Structure 1
Amino acid sequence: MIDQKSIAVLPFVNMSSNIENEYFCDGLTEEIINALAKIKQLSVTSRTSSFYFKNKIVTAKEIRENLKVATFIEGSVRVSKHKMRITVQMIDTLEDFHFWSETFDRNPENVFEIQDEISLFIAEKLREHIGHLEIKEKLVAPVDVAVDVYREYLKGRYYIMKLDYKNSIKGINILKEVINKSPNFSNPYLDINLAYVNMGTMGILPSNEAYEKAQPYLLKALELDPNSSRSQLNLAWIECWQNWNLKKAYNHANKALEIQPADDIYLTISNFLTVEGKLDAALNYLDKALQLDPYAAINHHYKGFLYYLKEDYKTAIPHLKKALDLDPKLLFPPIYIGICLLMSGQSNEALTYFSSLEGVSVKDLTKLGGETMCYAKLNETEKCNDGLRELETYLKTELLDKAFMFLILVNALLGNNKKVIDLITQAYDKRLPLILLLNPSPILKPVKNHKRFKDIILKAIPDNLNYKQKKSYKQILLDTSEIKKYSKELEQIMIDYKLYLNPDLSLKDLASYIELPANYVSQLLNLGFQKNFSEYINTFRINEFKERVLLEENKGLTIMAVAYDSGFNSKTVFNTFFKKIEGITPNTYLKSNS
């Protein structure tokens, strides 16, 4: 079922011949997406998925089916020397009708006022159509830079968002010129940092080199604007992957989420949960990222990666292939497609797959490392040893991250456990980020109880789920402070995920989202909310029903149709709970509020 408070903003069409206006159109689209994402009750499709439809002719039905939104915005921009005409229209994806269209004729110099004006206008019209939204007086903060400098900034960002080496470097150079002209403008520092981090994460640059180049720009951005969502997200990444401090990483990620929910923040929290070995919770957060950005290749890759870690190789492969369909240049999926084949008993198929890889995958050791893993599994000793020797030659090059990873995995497949531990120790001493993902690796099962391995993982991740002493659950399960803490977390989860809309939701399902045993959650509901599970969930469903049943678009539906849309699956339960909570029948409520 599609949430009525969901929207996508498609890339605005450049109606001018000047390529410079293309940067402005993309920048305007991004700014409106970011502005609307600040409205807490609204689910806004992220940039990657919106821009997937750039220069494509699509129907309302296609947008509804592919982006799972009730509404979308499309528009165009025509710019002359002294005049800018922006046309914006809002389309209902279910009924396929334009319920408003507006044209803005403005001075191109007033770019920031234009962005805020259009964002607020969209938000107000959306509120009229779908129901109450809390909207701030301003959604786009003014930026103290000259318009021509801001346009250059948009140009630089346009190139780095292409995510390949050549365009990233071109974008970085443009953004450096912007910094020279406006040294107190925080955005270009954040975007240069983003460009380097992306290249390091994607394997285009060695991770240590990329992070080292990125850090000065992030530090300057934090000095200029420490409280932006993007600043907090970057701090979260640094605390996890560079400082190995998960507690601080979570704090920064949650702050970013409070400021502006976005798919990359949910993905980041999913990464952190993976490091801890909390794979079910990681999948929950990853699904939220996919909901907001279903066309982000990295989101599909990560879902496949999580299923690989859960040893569900059959489920993992389609997600990994989907990631490659969306972005054939993405470096990670080929590694895990081949490994999934290998670990599911298809060693020859895996060898054929790795041997057929071409292009960028050859350069990042995927082909060499993958083939060597297959030779280890197939007991082709001579070929395996040749591969190991070649991989070792890369330990003193910029490819040492991948070389260590494949050497560890190959030796694990060979049963050389002492060599595996020695290699992991060397990688730990070099503080390579791959250490953080060794904990949940299914290939490393044979060494996970080895004392040296446990010591290394616990030094890197003191809160590691697999190696911490298991909690001995108390008779009195939660104390007062814990009840207060988890009650707040649970309320936020219910708001973010709307779990109550699932008619088959169970106490165990709810417990998986908050990472507590079901017994604890049962006690939490009783002591924190004075409700049992059914009362707690059905209270949300009743509130959802009360909001939905008064919407103009639902006037033609029966009361029970709206109740079912609100998460109920029984007429008796619905009527009983409604009377219990509201003191009147649903019919009486509807009549008194019509």
Structure 2
Amino acid sequence: MIKNKSIAVLPFVNLSNNIDNEYFCDGLTEEIIYALAKIKDLVVTSRTSSFYFKNKKVTANEIREKLRVATFIEGSVRASKKRMRITVQMIDTLEDFHFWSETFDRNPDDIFEIQDEISLFIAEKLREHVGHIEIEDKLVEPIDVPVNIYREYLKGRYYLMKLDYDSSLKAIEIFKSIIKKSPKFANPYLDINQAYTFMGTMGLLPAFEAFQKAQPFFEKAMSLNPNSSRVQLNLSWIECWQNWNLKKAFEHANKALEIQQADDIYLTISNFLTVEGKLDAARNYLDKALQLDPYAAINHHYKGFLYYLQEDYSTAIPFLKKALELDPMLPFPPIYIGICLLMSGKPNEALTYFGSLEGVSVKDLTKLGGKTMCYAKLNETEKCNDGLKELETYLTTPLVDKAFTFLILVNALLGNNEKVVDLVTQAYHSRLPLILLLNPSPILKPVKNHKGFKEIMLKAIPDNVNYKQKKKYKQALLDTNEIKKYSKELEQIMIDYKLYLNPDLSLKDLASYLELPANYVSQLLNLGFQKNFSEYVNSYRVNEFKERVLLEEYKGLTLMAVAYDSGFNSKTVFNTFFKKIEGTTPNSYLRSNQAN
């Protein structure tokens, strides 16, 4: 089902024979996407999927079918030294008609005002067309840098988003030059961090070297703008993958989500839930990421990866192949395409697949590790031992993480459980991030209950559902002890994960966190709290609103803006529940507490 309040912004077309104007067009498109994403009850397609259609002729029906949006924006920019003409039009994808078009003739030096003006125009016209949405007075905050430096920054972003090695290095050069001229401009630090992290993740640089280079730039960005969504998202990654503190990781990720809905934030939360073994909940969040960015290769890869973890190999492979179709250089899908073939009883087909790999997947040990796994499954002992010896040579190189991963998986397939535990223990003491993804691996099921393996997993991931007693569900209602037990567990989950801040939270989402069927959770809410789902979740949102509305940082916002930040997505629902719970209106509550 396509939401009525959903929109995509296609890349603005450059009508000038000037490459600098191309940078501006892409930058303007990005800024409008980012600005509209701040509107809480609006679904905005992310950058990757919007830019998939750059320089392509598409119909309204194609946009509706491929991006699943009710409305989209297209525009063009023609610029000279003194004037800039920007044409913007809004199209209804169902009826295929242009219900709004506007031309802006502006001074090119007024770049921040242009971005804000156009974003607000789009939001206002969209509200007229689809119904009420709460819009702030300003959607684009001006950046305190000269216009010529900001234009240079857009050039850096242009190269950064090409997502290849040479362009990433060029972007880093540009950003470093900007930092020398404007050292208090936070964005270039974050973008250098992103460039190095990308190259390390994709295997274009040794991961350790790349992350080490990225770290000082991130720390500087954090000191300049600690409350940006991108900073909070990076902090969540650090807490998970470096510090192994999932509680703090969730806190930072949820804070990022409060600031802005974005597919990479939903994907990140899905990652964390996967680490804990909460695969149903992880898939719910991943589906939200795919809704916002259906052309992001990493989102399709992760959907396939989740099906792989649930041992649904035939369903996993098409998602993994789609990821490679969207980004042939993405290093992760080939690993799991081959393993899915191997684990579904096709070792020879898997061996042929791994043997045919070229490019990134060869450099990152996927070909070597994959073939060695196949030899283990095919009982080709000599070739398997040769592969193991070669993998061991990489334990003192930047590819140590991948080498450990394949050594662990191969030994698990051979049934060498003691060797697996020894390798896992070494990886744990070296604080290698791979430890966190061993938890849900189907290949490691035979070693899961080994005392040494279990101890390591519970040290790394205390809230580990793989080591909770399996629940057997019965037809009758939950008994008194179960209601008490699950009520406490649910309250702790609401506190730790702040699920109520997600305006699209469903009963199914809540159930996936408890690892219970949805009908059990519905019974639990009724019997344990005497509330239905809406009453239960909105009571948390009301309490959140009461706390926020009295804080100094929220004094400049409208009551509804605070309500949206607290998880509500409807003015009527907010007012109704607030009065029902508090016995007074939000305005009266605020006046009474301000007086005190």
Instruction: Tell me how far 1:492 sits from its aligned partner.
Output: 4.4
Matched residue of 2:95: which SS?
A: coil
Pair 1:485–1:361, CA change in 2 (3 A):
closer
Q: In 2, Cα distance between the equivalents of 1:40 and 1:133?
A: 8
Instruction: Tell me how far 1:386 sits from its aligned partner.
Output: 1.0
Does residue 148 (structure 1) correspond to residue 154 (structure 2)? The answer is no
Q: In 1, Cα distance between the equivalents of 2:36 and 2:509?
A: 30
Pair 1:189–1:512, CA change in 2 (3 A):
same
Q: In 1, Cα distance between the equivalents of 2:364 and 2:126?
A: 47
The one-letter amino acid paired with 2:14 is N
Does residue 374 (structure 1) correspond to residue 381 (structure 2)? The answer is no
Pair 1:336–1:478, CA change in 2 (3 A):
closer
Q: In 2, Cα distance between the equivalents of 1:387 and 1:491?
A: 49
The one-letter amino acid paired with 1:13 is V
Counterpart mapping for 1:303-342 below 5 A: 303-342=303-342
Instruction: Tell me how far 1:274 sits from its aligned partner.
Output: 0.4
Matched residue of 2:376: which SS?
A: helix
Q: In 1, Cα distance between the equivalents of 2:247 and 2:493?
A: 15
- Aligned equivalent of 1:249: 249
Instruction: Tell me how far 1:435 sits from its aligned partner.
Output: 0.7
Instruction: Tell me how far 1:446 sits from its aligned partner.
Output: 1.5
Alpha-carbon displacement from aligned partner over 1:444-472 (angstroms, at most 9, x marks no partner): 11111111111211221222222357899
- Aligned equivalent of 1:4: 4
Q: Which runs of 5+ in 2 are unaligned?
A: 472-479, 538-579, 581-596
Alpha-carbon displacement from aligned partner over 1:396-428 (angstroms, at most 9, x marks no partner): 112111111111111111111111111111211
Pair 1:460–1:477, CA change in 2 (3 A):
closer
Counterpart mapping for 1:281-430 below 5 A: 281-430=281-430
- Aligned equivalent of 1:575: none
- Give yes or no for contact 1:526–1:532 (8 Å, CA) kept in 2: no
Instruction: Tell me how far 1:225 sits from its aligned partner.
Output: 0.5
Q: In 1, Cα distance between the equivalents of 2:382 and 2:492?
A: 61
- Aligned equivalent of 1:476: 484
Q: In 2, Cα distance between the equivalents of 1:237 and 1:490?
A: 19
Does residue 196 (structure 1) correspond to residue 196 (structure 2)? The answer is yes
Pair 1:480–1:435, CA change in 2 (3 A):
closer
- Aligned equivalent of 2:525: 524
Structure 1 range deviating more: 289-298 or 428-437: 428-437
Does residue 98 (structure 1) correspond to residue 98 (structure 2)? The answer is yes
The one-letter amino acid paired with 1:423 is L
Counterpart mapping for 1:534-573 below 5 A: none
Q: In 2, Cα distance between the equivalents of 1:236 and 1:230?
A: 10
Query: RMSD of the TM alignment (CA)?
Result: 2.3
Instruction: Tell me how far 1:214 sits from its aligned partner.
Output: 1.3
Matched residue of 1:476: which SS?
A: helix
Q: In 2, Cα distance between the equivalents of 1:343 and 1:64?
A: 37
Alpha-carbon displacement from aligned partner over 1:488-514 (angstroms, at most 9, x marks no partner): 956545x325x5xxxxxxx66762266
Instruction: Tell me how far 1:477 sits from its aligned partner.
Output: 4.3
The one-letter amino acid paired with 1:228 is S
Instruction: Tell me how far 1:210 sits from its aligned partner.
Output: 2.0
Q: In 2, Cα distance between the equivalents of 1:348 and 1:484?
A: 48
Length, aligned pairs only: 528
Alpha-carbon displacement from aligned partner over 1:233-291 (angstroms, at most 9, x marks no partner): 00000000111110000000000001101000000000000000001110000000000
Runs of 4+ in 1 over 6 A off after TM superposition: 469-472
- Aligned equivalent of 1:232: 232
Alpha-carbon displacement from aligned partner over 1:280-332 (angstroms, at most 9, x marks no partner): 11000000000000000000000000111111100000000000000011001
Does residue 53 (structure 1) correspond to residue 53 (structure 2)? The answer is yes
TM, length-normalised to structure 1: 0.85
- Aligned equivalent of 2:560: none
Pair 1:131–1:458, CA change in 2 (3 A):
same
- Give yes or no for contact 2:487–2:524 (8 Å, CA) kept in 1: no
Matched residue of 2:188: which SS?
A: helix
- Give yes or no for contact 2:160–2:168 (8 Å, CA) kept in 1: yes
Alpha-carbon displacement from aligned partner over 1:142-184 (angstroms, at most 9, x marks no partner): 1000111111111111112122221111111110111111000
- Give yes or no for contact 1:368–1:387 (8 Å, CA) kept in 2: yes
The one-letter amino acid paired with 2:442 is P
Q: In 2, Cα distance between the equivalents of 1:516 and 1:108?
A: 57
The one-letter amino acid paired with 2:255 is K
Instruction: Tell me how far 1:341 sits from its aligned partner.
Output: 0.1
- Give yes or no for contact 1:284–1:513 (8 Å, CA) kept in 2: no
The one-letter amino acid paired with 1:21 is N
TM, length-normalised to structure 2: 0.85
- Give yes or no for contact 2:281–2:509 (8 Å, CA) kept in 1: no
Alpha-carbon displacement from aligned partner over 1:18-56 (angstroms, at most 9, x marks no partner): 111111111110000000000000000000000000000
- Aligned equivalent of 1:590: none
Q: In 1, Cα distance between the equivalents of 2:400 and 2:331?
A: 16
Q: In 2, Cα distance between the equivalents of 1:508 and 1:220?
A: 40
Q: In 1, Cα distance between the equivalents of 2:135 and 2:245?
A: 36
